[in-house]
Amino acid sequence: MKLNWSVPANSTPGSRRVAITGLGVIAACGQGKDSFWQGLLEKPIDGERRIHNFDPSPWFGPKEARRADRFTQFAVGAAELALQDAGTLNYDPDRSGVMIGTGIGGIGTLEEQIVIHKEKGPRRVSPFLVPLIMANAASASVSMRKGWRGPCETTVTACASGTHSIGNAARLIASGRCDVMIAGGTEAAMTPVSIAGFTNMTALSSSGISMPFDARRDGFVMAEGAAIVVLEDFESAKARGAYIYAELSGAASTADAYHITAPSPGGNGASTCMELALEDAELDPSQIGHINAHGTSTPLNDAAEAEAIVKVFGNSAPPVTSIKGVTGHSLGAAGAMEAVAVALSIEKKLIPPTMGFSVPDPSINLDIVTQTRPWEPSAVLSNSFGFGGHNGCLVISPIK
């Protein structure tokens, strides 16, 4: 990453490389990196992607669990899985931070407490309501559990939150401010009112099938879950003998400045974001070997993303996949799940398929991966685009 932020007195000015050393994920298609990866390669069950078998007890006692909204429980669980995967970390707590994004936060608790207020009165509302629903509760909980006193922040940019969180965390390492970061996204917004709102705005699939880039696509399938990556200063990770999945080599963020839900015509904001991410990674479009698309299965967004990809890559765009055919759309957690998928794709030397895609859209001229495809890993561009016109892109590269 090309950065030159202020650095500690004992550090060399300039940009440091950022290593991905730990992966943690809790998703409907699998909990833990191995189950998650296997789930990406298998045909999903149609319908909403709710995590029915989630058990917070490995990380929370009964009382503690009641004082953490489901989105925080997901984040803590995924963070613990990622840290376990990363191995022993002995960094200065003041140079260790947490950056976990969410699109909506503790809406489950909010809806429950509104009902209690209406039916039982204000005195019965939980005194823990505010810390349960606040969007920064996930980051704060992880920070307190680990005793990490570096930057602890929450990015709230709708469906780009997870991607932006990872990019922002990587910059803290690249700049020299931090040596290690826990970063990702979490979401538990599958509540009655939330689903009704998405349904009434015609964002959700009426068929209950996620079909990214398919001619029949009719909306996204809602999901929940969390994904976390452990990011470290590359040289420090190498010195401690860490297993390094990949390098976070570039990131970018732009805004459409156009509409609260619709993408800008022609995907202009998205294409600019991709170009800036490539510039940050010091790569040409020809050096990207795969694109992990946002690909939500909505008519407008998939078309705009496809047009943006062609603007950047021309008619020789690399293979494109969207894992949302399996995972569904987990809103603020989606980009982080996709970053985990990219790291595993590099490790496994396999590109997962775009499940649900079978009928090509004649207006989309891309190489959509429809079956698990072997590949020799090279740099990957991972896209996320959120309501409000928030665009986020990451470039994740194999170690050389």
**Active site residues per annotation:** 159, 294, 329
* Chain centre distance of CA 199: 23
How far apart (Å, rounded) are the C-alpha atoms in residues 176 and 160? 25
Distance between start and end Cα atoms, the chain: 15
Q: Please say whether the beta carbons of 184 and 336 come within 8 A.
A: yes
- In one-letter notation, the amino acid at residue 182 is I
> For residue 233, what are the CA distances in angstroms to 18, 86, 230, 335?
5, 13, 10, 22
Residues 6 or more apart whose CB falls under 8 angstroms from that of 120 comprise: none
How far apart (Å, rounded) are the C-alpha atoms in residues 384 and 398? 20
Residue by residue, what is the 3-state secondary structure of 64-124? HHHCCCHHHHHHHHHHHHHHHHHCCCCCCHHHEEEEEECCCCCHHHHHHHHHHHHHHCHHH
* Beta strand pairing call for 350-351 and 225-233: unpaired
DSSP three-state, residue 28:
coil
**Residue in the block written with tokens 């349904």:** 199
**230 CB-side CA count, 13 A:** 26
